[in-house]
Structures are given as structure tokens and as C-alpha cells.
Structure 1
Amino acid sequence: MIQNKRLGNYLLYAAGEVILVVIGILLALGINNMQEDRVLQRKQQAYLSGLQEEFELSRRKLETLMAVNQQNYQNGRRLLALAGSPTSSFPEDTLSNLLYQTLALDIAYNPNNALLEEMVSSGSLRHIKDTNLRIRLTTWLSAMQDIERQEEDLRMQRERVLDLFRGDEYSLWTVLASTEHDPPPDRESAMPFHSNLPLLQSRAFENRLLLFTYACASTDQAHYQPLMSQLDDILELLKRALASS
């Protein structure tokens, strides 16, 4: 074409070749991006489904724990109402049942955070498109530290009440035997029955039990209830994200 002085046609042809090459590159990039988007979409779907399953299980665990904490609180209040009562007419087994129902169960929240922690450590949390959801998930992990501190304080108050039974003045044997909650095996030379009714006249018992019940109430109102609201918000965001993905 150049030899035949058809330079314009040659340039037009060359420009067409360049355009075709560019279009081919753009198409290849577009296809590659579409494939990557599909991979990321499937990955996000898997993460969202896994997180939803984890948080639903964590919610059931929190419900159970809140019920136990509420039971400890209510029975602790019943014991406090009996403080100062005459010991002569009060049934031993009633006191034993209240002591057992108040102090037997420890409180420790253990949510299912395996997937979430793995996502944070690997940087996979960025695959969650919803910014609000990402923030809530990060906040959830930091909230666990606050819950652990509160539960440690509650555990300490519970142990201070139980410390009264680690000496010679009161008897755990009587509590277990009176309530038939897995009492210890019979001893060869059983000690005489030891009543715990004097506990009702003990100022130390009343003070320690009062601190324990306050800790139960604080754990529920200032920690577990807000945590449940936070958990419900996350589950709602996960539900929306799954519906839109």
C-alpha cells in the first residue's frame, strides 16, 4: 500500500489492527474480572453463611447463660430475704436447696468465634462488602474482652461466698446430702450431722452474698442484655447481606 502511495488506507488498516488488539485485551480483562467477581461472590456467600451459623449458635448459648445467671440472682435474693430468720423453725433442706441453686453453677460465655477470628487474622474480613457489618463484627470481638472481665468479677464474688464452706464452720456435705445432688461417697466413720442454719445469722455471709447478687444483676443488665442486642443486630445484617448477595 505504501509503494502504491495508499498511505491513508495503510494507516486506517493499522489503526484497525490496534483497535482489535485493544478490544481483545479489554474483553480478556473483562472476562477475568467477571470470573474473579464470581469467585469473590461465592467466597462472601460462604463466609456469610458460616458466620450466620456461628452467631445463631452463640445466641443460643447466651440465652442459656442468661437464664442460669438469672436463676442465681433470684435464688440469691431469696437467701438474702432469709438473713436474720430464726434458725429453729427453718427447714435445713430448704436452705441447702437455695444454696445449691445459687452457687453450684459458674458463669462463662463461650461464643463460637472460630470462623470470625480466622477471617480477621487472615484479612478475609475485607471480602464482606457491607461496611456496617464489618464494623459490627470487629466490635463483637472487642466486646468479648469486656464480658470476660465482668465474668471474672462475678466468679470472684461467687468464690468469696464459697470460701465460707472451706473452713470448719459450715458443711458442704450437708448441702449435697440434703439436696441429693451427687453427695460424696459414704465415709467409714461418718462425722455427725452439721447444720448450716447459722449461716442465716452470719453478717459475713450476708455481705458476700449481697455482693454476689449485685454482680449477677450487673452482668445481666450492663453486659449480657446489651450483648444480646448486639448479637441480634449482627444476625439481622447477616440475613440482609445473604439476601442481597
Structure 2
Amino acid sequence: MLKLFRKVRKQLIAEKKVSNYLLYALGEIILVVVGILIALAIDNANEINIKKHKEQIYLKGLKEEFETSKTKLEQLIAFNKQSYEDSKKIIAFMVDPDKNPSEQELSNLLYNAFAFDISFNPNNSLLEEMINSGSLKDISNPRLRILLTNWISNMDDISKQETMLDNERQQTIDMFRGEENSIKTIYDLTGVSGELGIPLNSEKTSNIKLLESKEFENNMLMFILTSIKTETVHYDPLMQSLDEIIMVIDKEIKE
């Protein structure tokens, strides 16, 4: 095509046809401009396709992370609920002293209430990498970008609440560090001693007298309140946020 234009140009110059030459020159300029625009369009199309492909990779990775985090949160909510429900059973025995539990039953309740830390550890590695590298802008859905940004800030609030809960838990556990109560009895009767390879005591110190302690009751009540608030004010809304994030991601993923 260019060779043809050059040949025509030489012929027009040789024939001194100025007006025709100007038309030719204009046509050549238009051809060059059109070629540039086509090249830019191709480059833009390629860039858009690369960006979309990158976004799909991010979306699929985020979906996997958030589905794993949802499973963890479901398990944590179940642990927390068992913890405060068994704590409420202990309080019920304290309210009605005529219905004292057996040492075995009390040990089981105390173990279920206080043996496990309540701490949410979501899978955020990809999301944090995206935020740190500025790749969050590659997510085209504005609502999803807002949800992902809010998710990180929610983690700070959750961590603070869990610290409060752990403090209340430790206040109650500390009552077993003195001479009057026995962690060993709980270990023996719940099978923990066997798991740890610790010999059983032939005579066990009873923890039933804890049910008469006003300090223990106060600690338990604060623990129960904080546990329930952790679930209703923090974990339940967090689960709703998780569900919305996963739903939006599913809509954005192109199979």
C-alpha cells in the first residue's frame, strides 16, 4: 500500500499536478492517522483483556480466601456459643444451690467454657497483598472494593473485642491459680491428664465450693455478657458481611 502511494506521489510531482498532489498528501495523512488509531485500539483492547484476566484471577483467589474465612467464623461462633451456654449452666447451679452438679459435670462445664481461646483468624493474605501493592483498583465493581476495604477495618474492631473477651476469660481462670481450687481435678475428669501423659490424682480436690463464691459468679457473669456481645454485635454482622462479599464475587466471576 505504501509503495503504491509513493509511486502515485512521484507521478503527480512529475506531472506537476499540485491540486491532485495535495489531495494525495491529505489521503496519506488520513491513512497514517487511521493506522495509528487502529494500533491504539488494538493495544487498548489487549490491555483491557489483560486487566480483565488479572481481575478474574484475583476474584477467584478472594473467593477461596473468604469461603475459608467463613468456615473458620462458623466454627468460632459455635465454640463461643458452647462456651457461654455452658457458663450459663454453671450460673444456674449457683442460683439454685439445691441442684449442685456432680464433680464430673462441673468439670466438663468448666472445661467447655474456658479451655479454648476465642479468636478469629481469617485468610487475608491475598487481600492484604492487593491492598499493599495497590492492586485493589483492579477490582472493577465499586461496591466490592468498598466491602473489601471495610473488611480490613472490621478486623481491627473484632480484635479489640476478642481482647476484651480474653481478659474476662483470664479473670475467671485466675481463680484456679490459688490453693482453694484445682485445675488438676478438671484435667483428670475431662481426660486432659491422660492426653498430656500426667498421672491421675488418687484424691481429687473438689471445685464445687466455687459455686458459693460471689467473685466467681461476678467473673462468670461478665464473661457471659462479653461472649454474647461478641457474637451478636461483632460475629453476626461479620458473617453477613462475609456472605455479601462472597455473593458479589460470585456475580463478578466469569466462568
Q: TM-score, normalised by structure 1?
A: 0.94
CA distance in 2, matches of 1:45, 1:211: 46
> In the alignment, what sits opposite 1:186?
199
1:12 aligns with 2:18: no
Identify which of 67, 76, 82 aligns with 2:78: 67
Task: Give the unaligned 5+ runs of structure 2.
Answer: 1-11
> In the alignment, what sits opposite 2:156?
145
Deviations 1:185-233 (A, max 9, x none): 128xx68421111000000000000000001100000000000001101
Q: What's the secondary structure of 1:195's corresponding residue?
A: coil
CA distance in 2, matches of 1:193, 1:116: 51
CA distance in 2, matches of 1:210, 1:179: 24
Paired residues of 2:93 and 2:99 also in contact (CA < 8 A): no
The Cα shift of 1:178 comes to 1.6
Q: What's the secondary structure of 1:83's corresponding residue?
A: helix
Larger fraction in helix = 2
1:76 aligns with 2:87: yes
Paired residues of 2:63 and 2:249 also in contact (CA < 8 A): yes
Matched pairs, number: 242
Paired residues of 1:84 and 1:201 also in contact (CA < 8 A): no
Larger Rg: 2
The Cα shift of 1:181 comes to 2.5
RMSD: 1.8
Task: Give the unaligned 5+ runs of structure 1.
Answer: none
CA distance in 2, matches of 1:242, 1:83: 55
> In the alignment, what sits opposite 2:50?
39
Write the letter of the residue equivalent to 2:113.
Answer: T
Paired residues of 1:85 and 1:201 also in contact (CA < 8 A): no
Stretches (4+) displaced over 2 A: 1-5, 84-90, 181-184, 190-193
Q: What's the secondary structure of 1:53's corresponding residue?
A: helix
CA distance in 2, matches of 1:138, 1:89: 50
CA distance in 2, matches of 1:76, 1:118: 40
> In the alignment, what sits opposite 2:129?
118
Q: TM-score, normalised by structure 2?
A: 0.90
Q: Structure 1 residues 36 and 53 mapped into 2: Cα distance closer, same or farther (>3 Å)? A: same
Paired residues of 1:72 and 1:101 also in contact (CA < 8 A): yes
**Which stretch shifts more, 1-10 or 135-144?**
1-10
Aligned-pair identity (%): 45
Identify which of 147, 166, 169 aligns with 1:155: 166
Identify which of 44, 52, 61 aligns with 1:50: 61
The Cα shift of 1:89 comes to 5.9
1:217 aligns with 2:228: yes
Identify which of 197, 209, 219 aligns with 1:208: 219
